[in-house]
Amino acid sequence: MLPGMHFAHEECSSELLVRACEPGMIRIGEQRFQRSLIVTPAQVLADWRPRHAGELLRDDFDPILALEPDILLLGTGERLRFPSSALTADLLLQGIGVEVMDTAAACRTFNVLLAEQRRVVAALLLG
């Protein structure tokens, strides 16, 4: 992630718009998060268990499956790290598209899809 990245251009008035993404911190609306989280167009699920991409387990994706999104944006921290295909297999079998990117890119993409009113979930790792 780029240090001090702030998102200024707004075409969406949602309170769940990602306003800033810095190493170790994401700001959604006026709330700051310093631990991994899941964000949807309707809610934030704070304190998602994994801290780093290497800690991801199959069960970590259960809350995402329950949300039934069209697409999952998996932000893997400051660098892009692909999880094993076995970890995301259930999502793909349910017809959920999975896009893996660094967390800053996942935040930017989430904002775009949020503005388009898409059924998107962003699972954002901060470590």
For the chain, 127 residues long, give each residue's pLDDT as a single digit of tens: 445 555 444 455 679 999 999 999 999 999 999 999 999 999 999 999 999 999 999 999 999 999 999 999 999 999 999 999 999 998 999 999 999 999 999 999 999 999 999 999 999 999 8
* Residue 18 · residue 26 · CB < 8 Å: yes
Domain interval for residue 66: 5-124
Q: Residue 122 has which token pair?
A: 């962003």
* pTM metric for this prediction: 0.89
Looking at the structure of the chain, the number of domains it has is 1
Q: Residue 6 has which token pair?
A: 């702030």
Tell me the β-bridge partners of 122.
39, 73
Q: What is the CATH number of the domain that holds 93?
A: 3.40.1230.10
